[in-house]
Each structure stands twice: as C-alpha cells, then as structure tokens.
Structure 1
Amino acid sequence: MKARVHVMLKDGVLDPQGEAVRHALGSLGFSGVQGVRQGKVIELDLAEGTDEATVKEMCEKLLANTVIESYSVEM
C-alpha cells in the first residue's frame, strides 16, 4: 500500500526557494510567471492495513512542520 503526502508552506509564509525559481524563470524568458510556491512530495510504502489516521500522525510528528506548513494525504 502506498501513501503520498504533499507538503506546502502555508499562505503568508515567505518562500525564498519559490521566489528564486520565479526569478530564474524570468531570467530564462518566461515572463508570465507571477509567483511560485515550492513544496515537497513524500511517498510512503506502507504495510497493508495502515490507515490514513496513522499517516496523518506521521505528518504531525515528523513529515510536516505544522506551524508553517500544511499537508494533504493520498492513500
């Protein structure tokens, strides 16, 4: 069983990596990009029977810094 966790910075939190990507895209001639937010995707290979609540607990304890990041889980 696989789970995919998407982690993104919350709105209002500065994203220097996203801003660097936006600037680099502009330098390469992609002038239409007005903003970039960068996140991460974590894929977990889980034992059968592992439920979504367990994955959310993993996120709360380790995979996401819930003070500045939000996350979503796909099972």
Structure 2
Amino acid sequence: GEALKIGEALSRDAPHFVAPKRLMGLLYMKCGRMAEAETLVETLRLQEPDYSLEKMRDAFRASPLLHKSELGAAT
C-alpha cells in the first residue's frame, strides 16, 4: 500500500539511503510480492552482506513499537 509507495519513491530519489529498503523487503513479502522481495534482498546484500528478511523480521519482533503489527508476526 501506501508505505510501499513511499519506500519506492525514497529508493528512487535517494538510492543510497538503505533504511526504507530494509522495511520494503518485509512489506513486499507480506503483500505476496516475492519476486520484488527477493530482488531487494539481493540488492541490499551488495551493501550489507548479512542482510536477510528473517533478520529484519526478528528485529521487528523484538521492537516494542511494532510488536503487535503484522510485520512482526510469524508467517
């Protein structure tokens, strides 16, 4: 939805700003857009070799602000 539109715009306008890309991988996955999630993971691994969607999901599970969100839920 809206978060992906914002993240895609940020990625386009500030391609070296990786913070929104980290979240976008999870959002793509939750929206069933697996090809885009996988492409994004490979792109992020060029900058952050240890990046993974599972690592991001674990970080969100531990976050008190996002604990109840769907992003933190196991799939």
State the TM-score, normalized to the length of structure 2: 0.30
Could you say which structure has the greater relative contact order, defined with CA pairs below 8 angstroms and 6 or more residues apart?
1
TM-score between both structures, scaled by the size of structure 1: 0.30
Structure having the larger proportion of residues in strand: 1
- Higher Cα Rg, which structure: 1
